[in-house]
Structure 1
């Protein structure tokens, strides 16, 4: 069964935060070191706009399985046709093809959103995410070596990108 994508509403923010907080202990997908609160993510959530930079919920069998969002890249007008993509999947729904489904959904929305490039910031040790994006014709546009310090270990950040 194909997942369903719906725009997130303010009422969904606690569930979005809960999924985000699941990945923090793994040190794979975010530089946050402690769980975030709903209140601390309110301004971040408010920046999403279904017409420009959406945040979609990913539902599998009517159950929230993850989310995918597009955010402004670097916040300057000349970068308006490029967005940063983030995908977070609930741990109970890993390995079900939802990351690929999320990318496929976003790719189909790019013309409507006026976007012709996507960037993803992925830790260089996050092999599953790098594999997913590479499989979808993203290439490494940059590498920020050892920019994160997590649990006493330095981590590099790959900048993956694709033009459409």
Structure 2
């Protein structure tokens, strides 16, 4: 029986694994609307920006390997939005469906509450029903849908927007 996953703060040593998960989502899913893979320097900058803002970057550690990650960053770059963040959660393709996304999100929401974040925003490709259901189960509510605002793999994509008021 495998060991229970550990949700912990990411370290710079975790960035190659985070890069692999990110690039797999870029190459094979509509979860990330980028067409081009990124390099390690990109993920180092991404990590540094979040850490500089005091924002968490979490990983799901399964028997010493990073099996998923979650983080949040500024939603909009204006002072008035300082209590609102946009988050992301990604799970390695070999670990999906095992509840790691839920574990990561629960901890991320708790960190947001502790950090004085009032609202968490999630923007999800509208056909990603698994992610939408996960967010609904955690108390996120639908606040809108933008139609054909993105494109990937030669087709237009819709964006479902969800929010959670954390109580902070």
- Taking structure 2 as the reference length, what is the TM-score of the superposition? 0.89
How many residue pairs match? The answer is: 164
Alignment gaps of 5+ in structure 2: none
Distance in 2 between residues matched to 1:94 and 1:16, nearest whole Å: 15
Using the TM superposition, give the Cα deviation of residue 50 of structure 1 relative to its aligned residue in structure 2, in angstroms: 7.7
RMSD (CA atoms): 1.7
Mapped pair 1:130 → 2:115: no
Pair 1:111-2:107 in alignment? no
Residue in structure 2 matching 1:4, options 2, 6, 10: 6
Map 1:93-108; keep pairs closer than 5 Å. 93-108=95-110
Distance 1:104 1:48 in 2: 19
CA contact (8 A) 1:48 1:54 kept: yes
Counterpart residue number, 1:54: 56
Distance 1:96 1:108 in 2: 21
Q: Provide closer, same or farther for how the CA distance between residues 163 and 2 of structure 1 changes in structure 2, counting only shifts above 3 A.
A: farther
TM-score w.r.t. structure 1 length? Answer: 0.91
Q: Which residue of 2 aligns with 1:150?
A: 152
CA distance in 1, matches of 2:76, 2:29: 24
- Asked if the contact 1:29–1:122 (Cα under 8 Å) also holds between the matched residues in 2, the reply is yes
Unmatched segments (≥5 aa) in structure 1: none
